Structure 1
């Protein structure tokens, strides 16, 4: 199972786009984010790993992270985006039942 969440300030209604199934249990997320200023330069482009977070916890962590970055650039960012990906989950044995 793979779940990808993409958020950008240029999306309609500023809602995140989710691809794949949202995990019900906390997962490890790999996150990439970009923040740009009015003059077009990229202020922050980074990566981070969030250990064992649910979908709602991930959104809260990213809102906090982007808020801190916004404070660093004087709240003048014109474009903010982030993409989070989680891989794994419980795999079902699809052939022949349980192995002993």
Structure 2
């Protein structure tokens, strides 16, 4: 099961778009963010969580990261977006073995 959470400064009401089902158990997450500045430059970066984290913990980590980027740039960013992606694990106790 894959879950993707996308948020941007251009989305209405500052609500993220969620595709897939939110995981109930802590998962490893991939975080990507994109920042555009007034001079037309685009800064893209990504990272991966080492420890498994819940959705609330990952949202807090991403918010802290985005606020740090805003403070570093000096609130000059014209566009900021971020994507959190989690891929569920494999189910081990499946009847009939692996499907091919």
Deviations 1:14-57 (A, max 9, x none): 11111111001111001111011123221x31010023111111
Residue in structure 1 matched with residue 47 of structure 2 by the alignment: 48
Residue in structure 2 matched with residue 29 of structure 1 by the alignment: 29
Relative to the length of structure 2, the TM-score reads: 0.85
RMSD: 1.7
What is the number of equivalent residue pairs in this alignment? Answer: 95
Q: Any unmatched runs of 5+ in structure 2? A: none
Q: Tell me the CA shift for residue 67 of structure 1.
A: 0.6
Distance between the aligned counterparts of 1:14 and 1:40, measured in 2?
Answer: 23
Which 4+ residue blocks in structure 1 deviate beyond 6 angstroms? none
Relative to the length of structure 1, the TM-score reads: 0.85
> Higher strand fraction: Structure 1 or Structure 2?
1
Deviations 1:47-98 (A, max 9, x none): 10023111111111001001111111111111110111101246362x459x
